[in-house]
Chain A
C-alpha cells in the first residue's frame, strides 16, 4: 500500500473512530433519556436538555479523542521521517555540513571586518562611527 493510500485510510479510520467516540460519549445522557422513556416521562422539555447534554458530551469526547489521535499520529510521522532520513544518509550529510561550517567559522579570524559593509546595518553603523570621529 502506498504512503498516500495509507495516510488516507488512516484519516478515514480516525474520522470513523471519532464518530464512535462521540456516540460513546453521549451514552450517559442516553441512559438518562432511556430511563425517562421507560418510565413514560418522555416530553420535549425533558428530551431537549438531554439532547443538548448528549451533544455537548459527544463533542467534548470528540475533541479529546482528536487530540489524542493527533498526538499519536504526529509521533508516528516524526519517527517515520527520522527513520527514512537515516536510511537515505541524510543524517550523515547533516553531520558533515555541520562539521564543515564549524571548521569554516574557526578558520575565520575573529577581528576580521565584514567585506560588504555598504549593504548591512553593521556597515552603516561603522561608517557612522567613523564620520563621528
Chain B
C-alpha cells in the first residue's frame, strides 16, 4: 500500500468536510452551553452544565475520529481493490 492510498483527494475532501462540520457542531454545543450557563445563576448547576459540555465535546471528538477512520478505511479498501484489478 502506497502513501497516495492514504492521502487521495477523496480522503482529504472527506477529512476537511468532517473537520469543518464537527467544529461547527462543537461550537454550536459550546454556544448552547454558554447560553444555559448565563441563564442559570446557582453555581452547582453551572458546574453540572460545564461537566456535561465537556463530556459532549469529548464524545463529539470521538465520533469525529471514528468517522474519519471509517471513511479512510473504506477509501483504502477501495484503492487497494482497484489497484488489484488494474495490476491483475
Asked whether, in the complex, the Cβ of A15 is within 8 Å of the Cβ of B17, the reply is: yes
Query: Could you say which of A23, A27, A29, A37 contacts B25, with CB atoms under 8 Å apart?
Result: A23
The size bracket of the interface on B is: 20 to 34
> Residues of A at under 8 Å CB distance from B?
12, 15-16, 19-20, 22-23, 26-27, 29-31, 33-35, 37-38, 50-51, 54-55, 58-59, 62
CB pairs A–B below 8 angstroms (15 shown): A15-B18, A16-B24, A16-B25, A19-B22, A19-B64, A22-B63, A23-B25, A27-B56, A29-B55, A33-B51, A34-B48, A37-B48, A51-B62, A55-B59, A55-B63
> Residues of B at under 8 Å CB distance from A?
17-18, 21-22, 24-25, 28-29, 44, 47-49, 51-52, 55-56, 58-60, 62-64, 66
